[in-house]
Structure 1
């Protein structure tokens, strides 16, 4: 088979050819120039961002005798042998299929022998998170006391599955998602070298569809070239990626905003008749909503991120639609996205979605009605109105006093319970919460620590980027200890976005370290699940909390001392210590 895929032919052979990872390549080149080479490296990051390519280039550079500015020459016998995979001293292992203890023990035994041709024996273990626990233990001793002239390079897309004992013995490099602009420039360079005609809009669409992976972008580009007979057109790129045109998305969003259900349903039918994938449409629409939110905060950033495809209709729409409407739309889109995975009738779900998001806020129509004209009234009616207004004001004042009154066990049964108005919140999304990380923080949480984080929270938000603030602006700390802080999100979809954003977590940790002098563990929870988590913790640890407190003494009249700390149950005292007195809701089992 003579033809090779683009991502194989144009695989980087030098550090300078790796796209979008300038900090990492600069660090590795400096280490090679200054001879400060570590015995073990850990390359982490999403797929197609250059981890394995960087490992192979590093294995060449560390063994190349004609190194120039930290770059391998790619012309000596050693470099050529590594390029064609014939050098026995550079061993690449797929941990997905060689994840047992015996395979790792074999590596450990062979690593003791000196390299035969090169200066260093380099082991590249790809997808290292697939190793079993026994295999990790077998590898641990070798990483702790490595033989001379042996280098291990571990690559993975899921670093959280790697034991901390392994990570602590390596130099860790986090490969980031590649910006669409950088992907676009690389594709333009490749097509110019191949002398292939292309449409700028098509490459921009492919760069966005790649979702930060250079390999994915080249695979889509390869497919588009095959479909278009070595010509890249916008229509072909739309067909290959299954994306919807930016114009159709803008039209659909405008119809939804105008509550024009009929026109929006016609647009949906047009999209489906064009052979577009329903799941892809939902993803594109979610991304479009995100762009509107970000554009309202920083227009220039979105124009750069979207590679100049922001048009006048988009700008107009972003000024008319509110962020609350966008939040509700994204929640509905998230629900539909989960449902589309298991249905054979996506058109039904998209039509239901359209009806729902065009009727999200019926109050808007009421608020937009013209104000009624004043009615001429008699003096008797005016006097009656003034009397009723005074009574309403008095009742409101009494209700406010009842709300502010402290909650006690002797509350009068005849007093009417005032129901606090429920806040309008988007439909919660089922999200996985890291209970194993939350409970240790609650075990040593104090009100003093929580107050400290609340005081610095505005400064922490100001230190984040615009994109990160857009995610975190509806969050707040709800519990904290000396080693950790629990942050609750008002909207579940923002919680899910923050949960998967490693850069955001790093930024929060680094800025907290700068502001308060320490970097505590940060755990996210959805606001709608936090009360249940808190209650469950107090319930499960009731015996432990009671055992750690004073022995309870029967009080013949406990109501006489409602605020006496000696009469409080240990569970209640612990709850006050964790969350404060003003937010307690004490209920008897």
Structure 2
């Protein structure tokens, strides 16, 4: 096969039916049902990250609308209309790139031509990609057509930035939000393609590619194409790491083991070696942060990391998880996050990496003393003073002198974060099961919008109640509640992302997981929940109290 005739994997394996689309089952099933029942819309808005199937689904929908032998909502890909659309020769299906055709004149031209009936197909379909690039005047011109659409025209708008689409346009379309494709789905698709082509591969290599693709099928197949070219049609971990610029987990573990063990020189040598091999400095920092994130998750919920087996493949992982405290890992992530910001503004990444390595060693060296004492600096000073007094007492006893008892101040017990009932109660008063379901539905997408560091902190959070104006989120540990509440940037980013995904402003209130049942019980008790009473003499009738917290609460009516 000549180089000219070769087609990239993402083009060869582009989905041709709804069943071929990976990771968007809710969307494809909804569209199939609409086609079967004849309840299709005149305009659709497909939103989501790049490479998640927006344009592919738009073309499949265009085929289904014009297919001569539609079966269960699926185009047959054999009729004249389907074949022409697949070949790009059907003039009634028009694809437009709004990035280069974003003016008023282009959209007016579309509006004028849309009035004419299709020449070959049943339905004329306009697919406008990157629609957010249209100018204000172009949006106004498009709005007129969407308000009074001809019966034979369907518009499919696709964008990666829905927040830039005017509300007047969005309200006249059916919106479908495409999600990032999970790593397991990406790996399964690549495995299917490689098996079909008879190419050998390592499962761990597919995991590396899926991680680098960040939820985009097109990106995953493009990287796989590069790995195949680099490795002579064999997919190995080393080749995948070489193409993506990633670092093997064993090398990351060795680097962290060196700096946490006091061998800063060894850590510097490891960094120099990785840079000499051509590893990207920014990617190295990101890989280190993800490794530390996995350590945190493993310490709190081992099953979550064990399920992916992503970070457990090197011999350093478990020893590091057992020896490093959560506070020390947080400090190391903070150092790396700061360095990550600095790398964006410098032409000398090696210098900043070396400084970060030394700082990691210094952080690790200063931590053991405090951890061994189990106290804050003020408490350490207090303990040292008590030790001095005890030593003086022992010396006096040895000399036979009378001594006064030494007052030992007990260590202050840790207190749980105070629950802010003033913020919680208004949310609880209006909380509904539907609001909670809506928030839980977009919660994974919200976390994926955060930086790696902030995502690591929010991994073990969970929405437990929601109303039209706010969300209550529980954390498994007190320390995470305190850190999140004190992280203004995190809270701002969370609320901004929630507003973007939900289409309305919502406040976020944090609560510790163990405190949540008590808060819930106290609220219900103060708003009419049943209290322990004597056994009723008449038959009781249970009736709903409210639809709070996502489950049914009942009250006895005697």
TM-score, normalised via structure 2 length:
0.72
Residue equivalent to 1:521: 505
Q: Is residue 272 from structure 1 mapped to residue 268 from structure 2 by the alignment?
A: no
**1:38-53 equivalence runs, <5 A:** 38-53=41-56
**Secondary structure of 2:31 counterpart:** helix
Note if contact 2:18-2:28 (Cα within 8 Å) is conserved in structure 1.
yes
Residue equivalent to 1:167: 170
Residue equivalent to 2:68: 65
- Change in 2 beyond 3 A, CA 1:382/1:226: farther
Note if contact 1:330-1:493 (Cα within 8 Å) is conserved in structure 2.
no
Residue equivalent to 2:105: 102
Note if contact 2:46-2:175 (Cα within 8 Å) is conserved in structure 1.
yes
**1:227-266 equivalence runs, <5 A:** 227-266=230-269
Note if contact 2:146-2:172 (Cα within 8 Å) is conserved in structure 1.
yes
- Change in 2 beyond 3 A, CA 1:327/1:170: farther
Q: Deviations over 1:172-211 (max 9, x none)?
A: 1111111111111111111222222222222221111111
Instruction: Report the more deviating stretch, 331-340 or 31-40.
Output: 331-340
Q: Is residue 365 from structure 1 mapped to residue 349 from structure 2 by the alignment?
A: no
- Change in 2 beyond 3 A, CA 1:244/1:219: same
Residue equivalent to 2:9: 6
Distance 1:30 1:476 in 2: 32
Distance 1:231 1:155 in 2: 36
Q: Deviations over 1:302-331 (max 9, x none)?
A: 344456855564234334333333333222
Distance 2:157 2:21 in 1: 18
- Change in 2 beyond 3 A, CA 1:297/1:53: farther
Distance 1:266 1:115 in 2: 68
**1:403-552 equivalence runs, <5 A:** 451-453=425-427, 471-472=457-458, 483=469, 489-491=485-487, 494-495=490-491, 498=494, 521-522=505-506
Q: Deviations over 1:394-424 (max 9, x none)?
A: xx9xxxxxxxxxxxxxxxxxxxxxxxxxxxx
Aligned pair partner of 1:130 in 115, 130, 133: 133
Instruction: Report the more deviating stretch, 481-490 or 363-372.
Output: 481-490
Note if contact 1:489-1:495 (Cα within 8 Å) is conserved in structure 2.
yes
Note if contact 1:485-1:523 (Cα within 8 Å) is conserved in structure 2.
yes
- Change in 2 beyond 3 A, CA 1:279/1:56: same
- Change in 2 beyond 3 A, CA 1:187/1:309: farther
Distance 1:346 1:302 in 2: 31
Note if contact 1:45-1:177 (Cα within 8 Å) is conserved in structure 2.
yes
Distance 1:165 1:381 in 2: 90
Distance 1:198 1:349 in 2: 36
Q: Deviations over 1:67-95 (max 9, x none)?
A: 11211111111001001111111111101
Distance 1:191 1:111 in 2: 43
Note if contact 1:485-1:521 (Cα within 8 Å) is conserved in structure 2.
no
Q: Deviations over 1:362-387 (max 9, x none)?
A: 2532443799795314379875665x
Following superposition, the deviation at residue 449 of structure 1 comes to 5.8
- Point out where structure 2 has 5 or more consecutive residues left out of the alignment: 375-383, 412-420, 448-454, 474-483, 511-558
- Point out where structure 1 has 5 or more consecutive residues left out of the alignment: 397-446, 510-518, 527-589
Note if contact 1:474-1:489 (Cα within 8 Å) is conserved in structure 2.
no
- Change in 2 beyond 3 A, CA 1:475/1:79: closer
Instruction: Report the more deviating stretch, 165-174 or 448-457.
Output: 448-457
Residue equivalent to 1:378: 396
Aligned pair partner of 2:333 in 327, 330, 335: 330
Note if contact 1:450-1:481 (Cα within 8 Å) is conserved in structure 2.
no
Distance 2:308 2:495 in 1: 22
Q: Deviations over 1:257-297 (max 9, x none)?
A: 33432222222122112221111101111222222233334
- Change in 2 beyond 3 A, CA 1:525/1:89: farther
Distance 1:481 1:494 in 2: 21
Distance 2:493 2:422 in 1: 29
Superposed CA RMSD in Å reads 3.9
Note if contact 1:303-1:310 (Cα within 8 Å) is conserved in structure 2.
no
Residue equivalent to 2:197: 194
- Change in 2 beyond 3 A, CA 1:485/1:10: closer
Distance 2:402 2:48 in 1: 72
Note if contact 1:474-1:490 (Cα within 8 Å) is conserved in structure 2.
no
Note if contact 2:163-2:500 (Cα within 8 Å) is conserved in structure 1.
no
Q: Is residue 351 from structure 1 mapped to residue 354 from structure 2 by the alignment?
A: yes
Note if contact 1:474-1:491 (Cα within 8 Å) is conserved in structure 2.
no
**Secondary structure of 2:108 counterpart:** helix
**Secondary structure of 1:43 counterpart:** strand
- Change in 2 beyond 3 A, CA 1:382/1:59: farther
Distance 1:171 1:134 in 2: 22
Q: Deviations over 1:8-50 (max 9, x none)?
A: 1111111111111111111111111111101111111111111
Q: Deviations over 1:149-188 (max 9, x none)?
A: 2111111111111111111111111111111111111111
Number of aligned pairs? 458
Residue equivalent to 2:377: none
- Change in 2 beyond 3 A, CA 1:178/1:26: same
